[in-house]
Every structure is written in C-alpha cells, then in structure tokens.
Amino acid sequence: MPSIRTLQTFLATARLGSFAAAGQEVGLTAAAVGLQVRALEEELGVALFDRSARAVVLNTEGRQRVPGIKDLVERWQQLQVQPAPGELGGTVVMGALVSALMGAFADALWKLKRQHPALEVTLLAGQSADFMTRVERGELDAAVVTQSPTRLPASLVWTPLYREPMVLIVPTRPHFVLPASPLQMLTQCPFMRFDRRTWTGHLVNEVLAQCRADVVEGLELNSVEAIVELVRQGFGISIVPQLANLAWRRDKALRVVPLPRVTVERHVGLLERRQHGRETFTQVLKDHFGARGVRGTRAR
C-alpha cells in the first residue's frame, strides 16, 4: 500500500505539473518524485499522467483519482492535528474571487480563524469558471464563486452565501462630459466592461439588457478592483457588484448611481463536491451566513 507521503507527492505533481516543482514542495529530488509516482501507478495498475519532456499532465485516470487521494491525505492530517473540543483543525485549500476577499466572505473567514486557531486556510485567487474545474477534480476543497449561468456537474453543489447588487459607478472628476441621466451615461460615456466571458460578465450583460442600453465600449477587464480604480481616475464608467467592505458612497472620487428598474444581483456562494473530507469546515462557513439571515439552501 502506498504511503501518505507518496500520495502527497502525487497531489503536488498533479497540481504543479512538474516533477521538479513537486520535489521542491515536498523536499525530494525530481528523480525521487518520478520514482514515487511510478510506484503509485504500478500499485494502482494504471498510468496517472501523460508525460512529455517539459511537463507531466494528469490523464483521465489521474483526474478521477485526485478527489479520493486528497480525502485520504486530509483524513490523515486531521488525525495528526488534535484541536480542542468544538474546534476545527487541519488545512483547507480554497479558491476565492479576489472581489470576495474584499466583500462579506473576508469578514466570515476572519471570524472563523479567530474561533478556530488550529485551522489553516490556504486561499487561491482566480475566476469562478476555473475554480469549478479545480473543485470537481479535488484540487480545491471548496471555492467562493459567483452563481454559474449554466447547470453545474452533478458531482458539485453550490450554496448561496450572500448577495451583492449590481450598480453603476461613475467618477466625480471625469475626463469626459457626464450627463445627468443614468441611461444617458450608459449610452454616451466610455464603458469599462467586466470580461463578458466570466460569470460576473454575464450579469453585466443582464443589467444592460434591462436598461436597454448600447454602451460606448472602452476597456474590457477581468478585475473589479482594476475597473474601480480606472473609474476613480476619471477614465470611464462601469457596472460592477457592490462589494461589502468598500465604502464607495464615502469615496470622494467615485459616485454610485441608481439604475431605474434594474433588479440584477450577484449571488456569491460556496462551491464544493457533494462528498469530501472538509465538510465540517464548509458547513461551519455556511452556518455563519445562515445565522445572518441569508438563504442557505443548496442550488444546482
């Protein structure tokens, strides 16, 4: 039977795509990593990676085994860490939208860390669609993402945590003429669009459809933070989710403008596999938001 160390080496190789990079993480040479991976493949009776001169990439057999191997390693780590009764312990690897780290999720995580000092949370920033694949493969325990515009795979569950209204933001000192009417702003001013290929980008399209507005296309970016800063500097206007921890209404360089008849909100939630080794942690996180009166039913 392969050792826990061998399983950890496999997971590092799967995540990093290189024997050398995995070796740096687990403290082995690239050759030793290769030998451990080959021994695991022989034990299981299947090849787990497609190998090339520059990289090793998980094949179908390897991807199917990541969640189970990850759960085994996590359960072992939980046995090693003995938190006090009622406390959470061990390591959780999560994905999170950068904007979620500036919103209500950041407050929740800070509170959980104070309540459970034996808990270690590793956060990876990125986009919702990318996280969906990584959660499904077992590379992440869970991820805080926007609600998917399409149906999720049957192996995944998304639980809504909180909502953010989609709002129009404009500069107080624009480098262009800013009309008084919100609809005129949308049709006449340079528009900083959130990447339309992303899940948040779909919501921006919904807002524009409700406004029946054809915008003057400016830049297209995949960062709420970058868009907000460009608007603050007077280069355009934008529609973005209103993040919980940013005091935009007190920002002297920025103005939030109500959009008539717009009902679109960004729903931010927790994406996880239906069964995994860190369900105690994810349940505590969901309970935190449930205690604040936010709907916690599961959605697909």
pLDDT tens track, the chain, 300 positions: 677 888 888 988 988 888 888 888 877 888 888 888 998 999 899 999 988 877 888 899 998 888 888 888 877 766 655 555 556 667 788 898 887 777 678 888 888 888 888 778 888 888 888 889 888 878 888 999 999 888 898 889 999 998 889 999 999 999 999 999 999 999 999 999 999 988 899 999 999 999 999 999 999 998 888 999 999 999 999 999 988 767 787 889 999 998 888 999 999 999 999 888 788 888 888 988 884 433 333 333
Cite the residue boundaries of each domain of the chain with CATH code 1.10.10.10. 1-62
CATH class of 164-265: alpha beta
Residue intervals in the chain for CATH 3.40.190.10: 164-265
| Model pLDDT, residue 71 | 82
pLDDT of 179 reads 95
**Which pLDDT belongs to residue 89?**
66
The 3-state secondary structure of the chain, one letter per residue: CCCHHHHHHHHHHHHHCCHHHHHHHHCCCHHHHHHHHHHHHHHHCCCCEEECCCCEEECHHHHHHHHHHHHHHHHHHHHHCCCCCCCCCEEEEEEECCCHHHCHHHHHHHHHHHHCCCEEEEEEECCHHHHHHHHHHCCCCEEEEECCCCCCCCCEEEEEEEEEEEEEEEECCCCCCCCCCHHHHHHHCEEEEECCCCHHHHHHHHHHHHHCCCCEEEEEECCHHHHHHHHHCCCCEEEEECCCCCCHHHCCCEEEECCCCCCCEEEEEEEEECCCCCHHHHHHHHHHHHCCCCCCCCEC
Under a CB-based contact definition with an 8 Å cutoff, are residues 185 and 170 in contact? yes
d(CA 33, CA 20): 8
Residue 87 has which token pair? 């406390």
Class of domain 1-62 as given by CATH: mainly alpha
